[in-house]
Chains A and B, each alone.
Chain A
Amino acid sequence: MPSPSDLDALQRRVLGLSPEPAARLDSPYWISNEAYGALRHVLHDVGGQPDAPVPYVDKEEEDWELRTYVLCEVLAWRGVWNAEVRRRRENDLGATLYLGLPYYARWLSVAAKTLLDKGLISVDELAAKIDAVRARKEAGS
């Protein structure tokens, strides 16, 4: 008889087994209004969607997360954007990024995109700055 934790591991494995999806989304020629409606559903509107229980785990806030929060709030304080723009842009990321990124990584991604879209920074200078910062941090400073 499996122990409770062995059984849990088995059940999770079984839940993760699924047949190959019948139709992969790869830019179809046509979709019904119903399918379009589902694709158009604003991502953040999740209230009432079925989901299975999971443990309610907490975690310590990492330093970059606190800094991300402050960055986004200060950008709004100084009028670059506001919190509702941020929330709307998080939806604009689309399902893969919205659900694939950690919470504050969403905030950070849309902050970068917003500065780009407003012409406040350019993508090449952002990329160059990222490379410079990474090199600096990896060197230990």
Chain B
Amino acid sequence: MSRFEIGDRVTVREATTLFHHRTQAYTRGRTGVVVEHRPEWLIPEHEAWQLEDGRVEPFYVVRFHQRDLWPDYTGLELDTLETEVAEGWLDPAGEVTQ
């Protein structure tokens, strides 16, 4: 069961990472909008150590405004970036888990 719906504003958590992750540093703490669901699959933090029975999570396509990602974005206001984020890496915008 997916926690987030298309149109939800979500914030990428700022959690410690080391050795491996697939949640880009440039998205941490940034807020975007869920634009698509993806299927559930084994999270990369577990797959990278061949934990076959590791945790499966739903993934989401999150769209960000580029101006929200980069302090000095040199492109245009209307430019965006989309990337995929695991459910465990997302909070509803405005609520931050620690």
- Check A-B contact in the complex, CB < 8 A: yes
Contact of A88 among B19, B24, B26 (CB under 8 A): B19
Q: Which A residues lie within 8 Å of B96 (CB)?
A: none
Interface size on B, residues (CB 8 A): 15
- B50 & A82 in contact (Cβ 8 Å cutoff): yes
Q: Decide yes or no whether A41 CB sits under 8 A from chain B.
A: yes
- A48 & B50 in contact (Cβ 8 Å cutoff): no
Question: B interface, by DSSP: helix, strand, loop or mixed?
Answer: loop
- B48 & A87 in contact (Cβ 8 Å cutoff): yes
Q: Which residue of chain A has its CB nearest to the CB of B24? A: A47
Q: Decide yes or no whether B29 CB sits under 8 A from chain A.
A: no
Q: Decide yes or no whether B98 CB sits under 8 A from chain A.
A: no
Interface size on A, residues (CB 8 A): 14
Q: Which residues of B contact A (CB under 8 A)?
A: 17-21, 24-26, 44, 47-50, 69-70
Given contacts A42-B20, A48-B69, A92-B19, 8 further A-B contacts (CB under 8 A): A40-B18, A42-B17, A45-B21, A45-B25, A84-B44, A84-B47, A85-B50, A87-B48
